[in-house]
């Protein structure tokens, strides 16, 4: 009887130890699985999700293109023949991405920088619905994501491979697509973006022998968004117009010009005929001018 009791006690002890080991192993596996997950850093995006329905019909495409006051020193108005490099309605990776039905002409502005032989092309167009604008951005994203390289034919007929890279700048809004095209022979780099703002599609293209200055395109996009959607982007939600971009501290070119209607200062002698001037001819007095 005593031997049986000892055997039962030993079995019970083994069972307790086994349960303890299993429990410890379970806790260990939990930490092993949970610890790496806790180290994962989910990148937060500061891209704004626009209320596209609210903005539809409210934006003038002419206000959604770059103006001289948007650009840093060194940029001058360029030849509009460069608009032939248009992104709107272009194909990507051999796939055609037609524009939706347009309700306006394509507004554009072109600027060039002679210091590095680069140019900027800004375009905007209104389409039939805001859903068409956002859908177009999605179609461009899908098309340009289908390949990592394409071939460009130079003027001499030679084919140059062009690599597709992610753009360096973070998108300011969610309905946005951007890429950088790098010619593998080192001849050119094109960095571009497109975004839907209400029912208007806005595009920017920088082309030159090298990438644009870091943050340039993002800064230009922000300046456009401040004008077209001040509620979300302008400080205090105050609208900005093209006229507001003129520097109020700039000197007035007419400042200092003589004002013929200005009254004489107190104490100054009244103007009259010169002492040697002949007396006026007889006749009716002149009527004062209105």
> What is the phi/psi pair of residue 171, to 5°?
-70, 140
pLDDT at 229 over 80: yes
What is the residue range of 19's domain? 12-41
pLDDT at 255 over 80: no
Total count of domains within the chain? 2
pLDDT over 90 for what percent of the chain? 58
**H-assigned helices in the chain:** 2-39, 52-55, 130-144, 216-228, 230-233
Same domain, 160 and 106: yes
Question: pLDDT by residue (tens digit) across 63-86?
Answer: 999 999 999 999 999 998 888 888
Same domain, 224 and 88: yes
Q: How many residues does the chain have?
A: 290
Contacts with 195 (C-beta within 8 Å, 6 or more apart), sequence order:
137, 171, 172, 173, 175, 176, 177, 201, 202, 221
Given this model, what pLDDT does residue 45 score?
66
Segment 262-282 shows an average pLDDT of 47
Taking 3-state DSSP, the helix, strand and coil percentages for the chain, each rounded to the nearest 5, stand at 30, 20, 45
Whether 290 maps to a domain, the answer reads: no
Higher-confidence residue of 82 and 211: namely 211
Same domain, 23 and 100: no
β pairing state of 76-77 and 107-113: antiparallel
pLDDT at 14 over 80: no
Whether 185 maps to a domain, the answer reads: yes
β pairing state of 118-126 and 149-153: unpaired
Rounded CA separation 179/166 (Å): 5
Same domain, 32 and 73: no
Segment 21-39 shows an average pLDDT of 40
Q: Report the side by side order of strands in the sheet with 159-166.
A: 76-77, 107-113, 118-126, 200-208, 189-197, 176-183, 159-166, 149-153
Given this model, what pLDDT does residue 246 score?
43
Rounded CA separation 277/87 (Å): 73
Given this model, what pLDDT does residue 168 score?
82
Question: pLDDT by residue (tens digit) across 237-248?
Answer: 666 554 554 444
Positive/negative CA dihedral, 271, 275, 276, 281: positive
Computed over every residue of the chain, the mean pLDDT equals 78
Question: pLDDT by residue (tens digit) across 136-181?
Answer: 999 999 999 999 999 988 778 889 999 999 988 889 999 999 999 9
Q: How confident is the model at residue 235 (pLDDT cuts 50, 70, 90)?
A: confident
pTM (whole model) above 0.85: no
Same domain, 57 and 192: yes
Whether 153 maps to a domain, the answer reads: yes
Question: pLDDT by residue (tens digit) across 89-142?
Answer: 999 999 999 999 999 999 999 999 999 999 999 999 999 999 999 999 999 999
């Amino acid at each position: 009887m005593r031997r049986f009791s000892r055997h039962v006690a030993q079995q019970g002890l083994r069972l307790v130890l086994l349960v303890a080991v299993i429990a410890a192993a379970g806790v260990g596996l939990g930490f092993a699985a949970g610890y790496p997950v806790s180290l994962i850093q989910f990148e937060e995006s500061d891209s704004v999700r626009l209320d596209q329905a609210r903005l539809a019909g409210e934006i003038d495409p002419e206000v959604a293109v770059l103006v001289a006051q948007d650009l840093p020193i060194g940029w001058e108005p360029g030849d509009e023949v460069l608009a032939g490099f248009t992104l709107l309605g272009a194909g990507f990776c051999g796939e055609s991405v037609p524009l939706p039905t347009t309700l306006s002409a394509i507004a554009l502005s072109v600027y060039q920088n002679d210091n590095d032989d680069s140019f900027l092309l800004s375009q905007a167009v209104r389409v039939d619905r805001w859903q068409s604008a956002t859908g177009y951005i999605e179609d461009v994203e899908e098309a340009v994501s289908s390949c990592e390289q394409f071939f460009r034919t130079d003027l001499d007929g030679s084919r140059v491979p062009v690599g597709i890279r992610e753009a360096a700048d973070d998108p300011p809004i969610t309905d946005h697509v951007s890429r950088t095209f790098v010619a593998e022979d080192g001849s050119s780099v094109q960095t571009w973006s497109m975004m839907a703002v209400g029912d208007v599609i806005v595009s920017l293209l920088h082309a030159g022998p090298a990438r644009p200055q870091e943050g340039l395109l993002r800064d230009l996009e922000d300046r456009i968004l401040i004008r077209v959607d001040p509620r979300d982007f302008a400080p205090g939600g105050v609208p900005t117009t093209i006229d507001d971009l003129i520097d109020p501290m700039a000197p007035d070119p007419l400042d200092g010009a003589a004002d013929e209607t200005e009254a004489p200062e107190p104490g100054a002698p009244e103007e009259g005929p010169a002492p040697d001037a002949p007396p006026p001819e007889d006749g009716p007095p002149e009527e004062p001018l209105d």
